[in-house]
Amino acid sequence: MVRSFCASGSHEGVKCAVHGAAAFIVSLCAIYNTTAWFYRRDPHLRINAIVYTLAVAYELKQTMHHLNAPKRCLPQPVVEEPQAA
């Protein structure tokens, strides 16, 4: 079941939604840590802000990957070549 779910082209909408939700959550974390760093200047907040910002970029990349997947996975039409008589 897991293998069929994770196969490219199957359940792309669900995978896209999961990565989209993760992007939303880590973007909130990035915003919080960046704002907290501007006010308190604690080194760990800067590191957290960087890590969460990178996580946002990764999740957005994955979301776009799954959004574009159905276009890549559509069956291509088969063109038959005319036979020489």
The set of residues, in sequence order, having a beta carbon less than 8 Å from that of 11 and lying 6+ positions away, is 5
Closest CA to 58 of 85, 29, 28, 20: 20
pTM for the full predicted model: 0.75
Give the span between the Cα atoms of 44 and 5, in whole angstroms.
37
**What is the distance between the alpha carbons of residues 46 and 17, in angstroms, rounded to a whole number?**
29
- Could you say which residues of the chain have pLDDT below 70? 70-79, 84-85
Q: ∠ CA 79-73-62 to the nearest 5 degrees? A: 155
